Amino acid sequence: MSEYIPSPREWVADQVELYEGSGGTDGLTLRDTGLPVIIVTNRGSKTGAIRKTPLMRAMDGSNYILVASQGGAPKNPRWYANLKAEPNVEIRDETQTHSMRVREVVDSVERKRLWDIAVAAYPPYQEYQDKTDRVIPVFIAETI
Ligand code: F42
């Protein structure tokens, strides 16, 4: 069993603790937006440690769309490299957990379709894309 390393960002680590500690009944939304959040559990690509990353919930059927926006920061979040290296993840959506495999969506037509769903679920993603030069990566998580 690998070590779990909490996020160094306190508000993120606190949300994970509340969400997971309550079995998915508390801490389910992003701050005061009221919009739903999922928790992605994955492995660090260098440390092999367990990482837990809250992301907005955007769904395509029963698949989850993961958007590596990091608030429109110039660089991809670290979890981007982690998911590229180890695509098998667990996704907690409230009280349910799912073993899933992620892939980065590189086909432009597929990416556009999923991007539009993600922006409908969480409109600030578009503002984040508009303020950064990088193309924000989009993953799709599919049931194994
Ligand atoms: N971030 C998003 O990008 N998209 C979202 O939709 C989103 C929603 C969201 C909702 C609620 C919430 O609480 C947070 C939310 N966030 C969202 C923020 C998200 O959870 C992450 O905190 C953010 O994207 C930054 O991700 P990060 O992986 O860069 O996290 C940093 C702060 C971090 O935790 N770094 C660690 C560290 O110690 O610096 C982890 C480092 C790491 O993963 N190391 C790897 C390892 O091997 O362990 C190596 C990585 C490598 O480079 O190979």
pLDDT tens-digit profile of 107-118?
999 999 999 999
pLDDT tens-digit profile of 5-32? 999 999 999 999 999 999 999 999 998 8
Please state whether the predicted TM-score (pTM) of the whole model is above 0.85.
Answer: yes
Top-tier CATH class for 10-143: mainly beta
42 lines ligand 1 (CB under 6 A): no
Query: Rounded to whole angstroms, how far apart are CA atoms 139 and 106?
Result: 9
Torsion on CA atoms 116, 117, 121, 122, rounded to nearest 10: -30
41 lines ligand 1 (CB under 6 A): no
44 lines ligand 1 (CB under 6 A): yes
Q: Ligand 1 centroid to 78 CA: how many Å? A: 5
Strands 138-143 and 96-104: antiparallel
Q: Where are the domains positioned within the chain? A: 10-143
